[in-house]
Amino acid sequence: MAGSPFPTLVMILGLMVALGTTALQAEARAFFVFGDSLVDSGNNNYLATSARADSPPYGIDYPTHRPTGRFSNGEHIGSEPTLPYLSPELRDQNLLVGANFASAGIGILNDTGIQFVNIIRVPSQLAFFKAYQQRVAALIGEDKTKRLVNEALVLVTLGGNDFVNNYYLVPYSARSRQYSLPEYVHYLIVEYKKILKKIYDLGGRRVIVTGTGPLGCIPAELAQHSINGECATELQRAASLFNPELVEMIKELNKEIGTDVFMGANTNQMHMDFITNPTAHGFVTSKIACCGQGPYNGLGLCTAISNLCPNRDLYAFWDSFHPSEKANSLIVKQIFSGSSKYMTPMNLSTAMALDSRA
């Protein structure tokens, strides 16, 4: 897996930030994104790596009908997304909208996704964020830059690759021999907390942190481990251990800081809603990927010669690992207005309303 839940989340949330908050605040917020292929908007296009989505049919439903580098079939709302940090177009006024630092294949740990070689791991993403602020300061001054960053919305999506592309990458992997699964999950949470603290130290004050999706239910895992369409038990166990610990860590971190900076998104439950009852959400299947080959279209990459469904909106999964744009839109709705079942300690609309009164 080059990443772990949602590429169009960046574009949809970006539009909410750019347009939706203007009803609550005098000016729009910037938007910053850290993470893996679920939120990479094209940084890996500029890197010599196999973790890329720059070939058809990726982008088939994008306004240009061309691949953009997002691991998606398109987008949900037609808007100009936050640009990848490596894009040459990220300069001058475009800098003030924010930046996307995400890179497909990376994880919480630096040894995750080693097979993808040249990707932007978390320390480099954070270094780019620091360099970004220096570039913006040269444009608008240090005080305005600090305000821009402090008032921005930040999205962080990490964790799935640390299981799929590390612990369970091969039988008897180095990490699986080093740690039992509960021990490994705890280690990941400790390291994740360090990353979130660094984002806070760099100025992040309103940060959405997503958990992993139901890792054992993605088409890639069904193709390898499922007989009758049941989810892969061991990867589901990993998600069931990781996500509750992540929520507790976020609560702990907010308590240490003294305010609710970090919001946890229960993307596992959001996914399970339409995996367990796809027809209720307008899908014909939550097991078969729209694009791929083999059982459940879950083997190999999505390419121009893969099986391709005619209507992407009827499929919960676009390719063997990534949700379709329609599935992503359902997830975003829960992030924006979902109950405590989905968001901790509050949803995004509540946070935006609080910020507008500050």
- State the pLDDT at residue 23: 36
Length in residues, the chain: 358
**What are the structural domains of the chain?**
8-269+343-357 (3.40.50)
Which positions are annotated as active-site residues?
Answer: 37, 319, 322
Strands 98-100 and 291-292: unpaired
Max CA-CA distance within the chain? 60
Token output for 1: 């897996």
Distance CA 209, CA 220 (A): 24
DSSP element (H, E) containing 223: helix 219-225
pLDDT tens by residue, 120-178: 999 999 999 999 999 999 999 999 999 999 999 999 999 999 999 999 999 999 999 99
With left for phi above 0 and alpha for psi between -120 and 50, is residue 300 left, alpha or beta? left
**Residue-level pLDDT at 171:** 92
Q: How far is CA 296 from CA 115, 122, 287, in A?
A: 24, 32, 6
The rounded radius of gyration (Å) of the Cα atoms in the chain is: 19
Task: Specify the residue for token string 């003294």.
Answer: 258
pLDDT at 73: 83
- How far is residue 96's CA from residue 281's CA, in Å, rounded to a whole number? 36
Stretches in the chain below the pLDDT threshold 70: 1-27, 75-81
For residue 62, what pLDDT is reported? 78
Q: What is the pLDDT of residue 353?
A: 92
Q: In the block, which residue shows the tokens 């990458």?
A: 169
